[in-house]
Amino acid sequence: MAGQGASVYPPNMSKTAEQPGADQWVPPHAAVDDLRRAAEDCRGCELWRDATQVVFSRGPAGAAIMLVGEQPGDREDLEGEPFIGPAGQILVEAITAADLAEDDVYMTNAVKHFRFERRGKRRIHDKPAVGHIVACHPWLEAEVAAVTPEVLVALGATAARSVLGRTVKIGEVRGRVLEPPAGFASPVVVTAHPSSILRVRDSADRESAFNALVEDLRLAADLIAR
């Protein structure tokens, strides 16, 4: 398990001089509540300037499963809590369908600030760059160390890159239990981000995509001691 405050970046995720990263803001050996408070002052990348606030996590610190998403959305940025928008509602439904209890799950994101493009009065989601994933990685390391989950679930390609330290294709790795990546002790399950289900127009295809997410969560549930 990587130590807090001394981030060990996975392969292909090295810092650059232009991207200082969150190392200096992450308190060592901190509990989740302490990490959440410290993250309010993080200036590890430029995203804090335009975001309303940092969006850290939700769920019990002793949860057996850690769900890692991409970044907060517009509503999450305004309210300060992850997974409370439409994609979050789908995720909660999938968690319930997978017969998981609320106390089993800790939810966070690979990137803690909302990256967006402004179009008039609207703020349109803009995918985090690799530099943002790298800059925020010390927070994820610290969360894993504090929560000590039995399994990590990466929701989507951005989360998978953050957790695994490399780019993967969701279709090639989902349905499998992956070995713990460098710096972590927990096995990894990769699945699609629930927001992808929102983009499926056909109702039958949408139901199929939702059921696939549920099956991936059940795979993670099978790995925990209950």
Residue 15 has pLDDT above 70, yes or no: no
Residue 181 has pLDDT above 50, yes or no: yes
210 — pLDDT class (breaks 50, 70, 90): very high
184 — pLDDT class (breaks 50, 70, 90): very high
Which two three-digit tokens encode residue 59? 């769920």
Q: In this predicted structure, what is the pLDDT of residue 3?
A: 39
11 — pLDDT class (breaks 50, 70, 90): very low
CATH class of the domain comprising 23-221: alpha beta
Residue 169 has pLDDT above 90, yes or no: yes
Q: Are strands 57-58 and 105-109 parallel, antiparallel or unpaired?
A: antiparallel
Mean pLDDT of the region 122-136: 95
Query: Mind listing the pLDDT tens digit for each residue in 40-80?
Result: 999 999 999 999 999 999 999 999 999 999 999 999 999 99
Mean pLDDT of the region 109-124: 95
Residue 149 has pLDDT above 90, yes or no: yes
The number of beta carbons lying within 10 Å of the beta carbon of residue 29 is: 11
C-alpha angle 173/177/180, rounded to 5°? Answer: 105
Q: In this predicted structure, what is the pLDDT of residue 21?
A: 83
Q: In this predicted structure, what is the pLDDT of residue 19?
A: 57
Q: In this predicted structure, what is the pLDDT of residue 90?
A: 97
Which two three-digit tokens encode residue 30? 């901190």
Continuous segment of H or E residues that includes residue 122: strand 122-125
Domain boundaries, the chain: 23-221
132 by Cβ neighbours in 10 Å (0-12 / 13-18 / 19+) ranks as buried
Q: In this predicted structure, what is the pLDDT of residue 226?
A: 61
List, in sequence order, every residue forming a beta bridge with 67; answer none if it has no partner: 107, 153
Query: Mind listing the pLDDT tens digit for each residue in 16-45?
Result: 435 568 899 999 999 999 999 999 999 999
Helix axes 130-147, 32-39, angle to 10 degrees: 150
The one-letter amino acid code at 58 reads R
The whole-angstrom separation of Cα 155 and Cα 141 is: 17
